[in-house]
Amino acid sequence: MLNIALFGPPGAGKGTQSEHLVKEYNLLYISTGDLLRQEIADQTPLGIQAQSIIAAGGLVSDEIIVQIIEKTIIDHPGANGFLFDGFPRTYVQAYILEGLMLKLNTSLNCLLSLNLPEEVCVERLLNRGKTSGRSDDNEMVIRNRLREYNEKTIPVLSFYREKGICYDIDGTRSIEEVTRELDAIAANELKKQPLNIVLFGYPGSGRDSQGKALAERYGLEFISTNEMLENEIRNQTEIGKTVIDLYNNGQQVPDEIVVQLIERRLNANANAKGFIFKGLPRTLVQSYILDGLLKKRGRSISIALELEVPLLDLVSRLDERGRSGHGMSYDSSVAKIIERLREHESKTLPVIAKYAQQHGLVKVDGTGTFDEIFSRLCAEVEKSIKNPR
């Protein structure tokens, strides 16, 4: 997720930049004022409570505000992130937001502060007042608003500067220049986030070569169950010996062994930016296992990709691979190739359907040159980075 707090004095252009960030990164806009007014209009329990406080001349408490924000976030589980406008306003609210983010298993990525000299703010707002008709666009009110903003904001900015996530932006520049800087900061924050990819496709679709290329491009760990099993066999480990016995008896490797190998690999690369999984999950059971292994480490699937290749092309590729001497055991005849493709269809297609529902699976044309296919895959990965789930 991408969670941003946008700050700026009256006249700094927060409205314009908020609109851009929300649209560009598919964020949910959270303005405490707007949310409060909506709760009151809907006559929710919190809205009724807030309305009675306001009617009595009081200020709505932080306790009510944070409940409204939490409710809004929970009601939008599909959001790619949140843009907080005007919150937190105080040092105490900064701590409240941090606690709320922790409770929701996320965090504030950055605070973007649009800085503008007071005289420039006054000039902009007075010019706006000539056409806006707003009664608060007069110099006395403007300077009072600026004074209040500075008094409340300085402690909040200090709170986030200590955390290293406060970015100061020169708001005197053009809208386009400010937007470019905000985009650069957002892009940098998105690159820091874990990226975990599941690569689906029939045998012969090119998952191995494309998966390794993607791992190199994005600095990820490539995890292939076949490769891990082959390493165990080659190193003559206890697991390798068990796998050979299973193969010799025509049996499949049980999930207990696969889980051990995957968990070992995840533990060995605990600080990795992310992983590309090829050959896992093959079954619905394995899909639940993988989700659990990732969740245990505070991770989740970022995107699921499926390479689509016509059946005749798959058979041709696998037959050619078998003739080259570098194929799998099922590449030795067309009959075995067809049997392996059918097995994939019966066991893995239900998994693909599950990922399509839960993780937004993307189908990618797997025909053409290596570079053409790779370019298509990269385009989808870039989209997932920009709009994380």
Q: Which residue bears the tokens 């044309």?
A: 365
Helix axes 284-296, 334-359, angle to 10 degrees: 50
Annotated binding-site residue? 180: no
Annotated binding-site residue? 93: yes
Annotated binding-site residue? 145: yes
Annotated binding-site residue? 292: no
Annotated binding-site residue? 133: no
Side-chain-side CA neighbours of residue 52 (13 Å): 7
Annotated binding-site residue? 286: yes
Contact 351, 287 (CB under 8 A): yes
Annotated binding-site residue? 368: yes
Q: Spell out the alpha helix ranges (H) of the chain.
A: 14-25, 32-42, 45-55, 62-74, 91-103, 118-132, 139-163, 175-192, 207-218, 225-234, 238-248, 255-268, 284-296, 311-324, 334-359, 370-386
Annotated binding-site residue? 58: yes
Annotated binding-site residue? 11: yes
Of 111, 110, 114, 113, the C-alpha closest to 171 is: 114
Annotated binding-site residue? 321: yes
Annotated binding-site residue? 201: no
Annotated binding-site residue? 12: yes
Annotated binding-site residue? 32: yes
Buried b (16+ CB within 10 A) or exposed e, 242-254: ebeeeeeeeeebe
Annotated binding-site residue? 251: no
Annotated binding-site residue? 33: no
Annotated binding-site residue? 340: yes
Annotated binding-site residue? 17: no
Annotated binding-site residue? 134: yes
Annotated binding-site residue? 16: yes
Contact 352, 205 (CB under 8 A): no
Dig out the tokens for 154 from the structure: 């300085």
Annotated binding-site residue? 173: yes
Binding-site residues for AMP, in ranges, read: 32, 37, 58-60, 86-89, 93, 134, 145, 225, 286, 323, 340
Binding-site residues for ATP, in ranges, read: 11-16, 128, 173, 321, 368
Binding-site residues, in ranges, read: 11-16, 32, 37, 58-60, 86-89, 93, 128, 134, 145, 173, 225, 286, 321, 323, 340, 368
